[in-house]
Amino acid sequence: MPRLARLDIAGLLQHVIVRGIERRDIFNNDHDRQLFVDRFSSLLSETGVQCYAWALLSNHFHLLLMPTSAPLSYFMRRLLTGYAVSFNRNNKRSGHLFQNRYKSIVCEEEPYLLELVRYIHLNPLRAGMVKSLEELDSYPWTGHSVLLGNRQLDAQNTASILERFGKTKSVALQNYRQFIYDGIKAGHREDLVGGGLKRSQGERPANEYESYDDRILGSGDFVDGLKQEANLKSKMNKTITLAHLLEVVSATMKLDPDSVSRPSKCRVPAAARGIICHLAIFELGYTGSEVGIYLHMGPTGVSLAAKRGEKALKADPVRMKEILGQLDK
């Protein structure tokens, strides 16, 4: 059976697992690990992707990410390609370093965010790379040590995690570490690596059936909502040109398409271009380069405009619905 396409949708929590080809080591020493972390941190800052947890092991790694203004596929392509080139050069090898297809699991934020943070950060302890929680606290190759303040990684979003454990930093750190400690006895969590609802609940009576999908960790309602959004994106990807997107957004905002299609400092046309950039990249699957060429904008301009467009649409869901409704006709 063909593998299903990834659900690369902005604003969704994603558990990413990457393994070395034939399960070979992808980190030979701490120099390799630091090269990876430096590239990872730089890309997080550049793309606006949020990182809540990460762990490097010998032949694979885990990331807990939330793409915002850049697709996950774009982020991962740059991360993996760049690191593979450096690794091969430094280790005098050639050929593929990673398995052809990384695994990404879309996760319902509640109740899975903290469970995934704990699961990912305990990986080195489960794998025997450290012998105790005390060693894990200072182990430099996970986000756990960053959350505790024992390692610096400015691009990691620690505030969103720690604020869930207490109002003051000291209380939050104490409660977070206890939370990690309480998870040690749970061991490997098969229900957290894909198809969570199906795996964790086992057999259910027929009248209690809920949707599930191996690409999604979440409730039946969450799965259904994502599938509807993915189906809409798939339908639009096949039929909608950038020219049509420009027409629809311009008409919705009562603007002349010519005033929107070229950069200017006028506020409303600039807002329309931001919406076009966001929808073209995140709803229709166009690349930033394609959008930039069409709208006569550079890569940085497209990225900044897409962020503004995302913010504008979140602030005005009625307009978002109207635009998508017109595109779907």
Per residue in 128-166, pLDDT tens?
999 999 999 999 999 999 999 999 999 999 999 999 999
Residue 270: burial class (beta carbons within 10 Å; 0-12, 13-18, 19+): middle
Q: Tokens 């885990």 label which residue?
A: 62
Q: Is the pLDDT of residue 192 over 80?
A: no
Per residue in 278-291, pLDDT tens?
888 777 767 777 88
Q: Is the pLDDT of residue 261 over 90?
A: no
Please tell me the distance from the alpha carbon of residue 195 to that of residue 217, in angstroms, as a whole number: 5
pLDDT, mean of residues 2-18 = 78
Please tell me the distance from the alpha carbon of residue 255 to that of residue 241, in angstroms, as a whole number: 19
Note the pLDDT of residue 234. Answer: 52
Q: Is the pLDDT of residue 198 over 60?
A: no
Pairing assessment for the beta strands 103-107 and 13-19 based on DSSP bridges: antiparallel
Per residue in 215-246, pLDDT tens?
788 777 777 777 666 655 554 454 678 888 99
Q: In sequence order, which residues have a C-beta less than 8 Å from that of residue 65 and are 6 or more positions away?
A: 13, 14, 16, 49, 50, 51, 52, 72, 75
Indicate the pLDDT class of residue 201, thresholds 50, 70 and 90. very low
Per residue in 86-134, pLDDT tens?
999 999 998 899 987 788 888 888 889 999 999 999 999 999 999 999 9
Please tell me the distance from the alpha carbon of residue 271 to that of residue 170, in angstroms, as a whole number: 42
**Residues of CATH 3.30.70.1290 domain(s) within the chain?**
13-197
**Residues of CATH 1.10.1750.10 domain(s) within the chain?**
240-327
Phi, psi (deg, nearest 5) at residue 182: -65, -20
Please tell me the distance from the alpha carbon of residue 322 to that of residue 326, in angstroms, as a whole number: 6
Please tell me the distance from the alpha carbon of residue 61 to that of residue 262, in angstroms, as a whole number: 43
CATH number of 240-327: 1.10.1750.10
Per residue in 45-98, pLDDT tens?
988 899 999 999 999 999 999 998 778 888 999 999 999 999 999 999 988 999
Per residue in 298-312, pLDDT tens?
888 888 888 888 888
CATH class of domain segment(s) 13-197? alpha beta
pLDDT, mean of residues 257-270 = 84
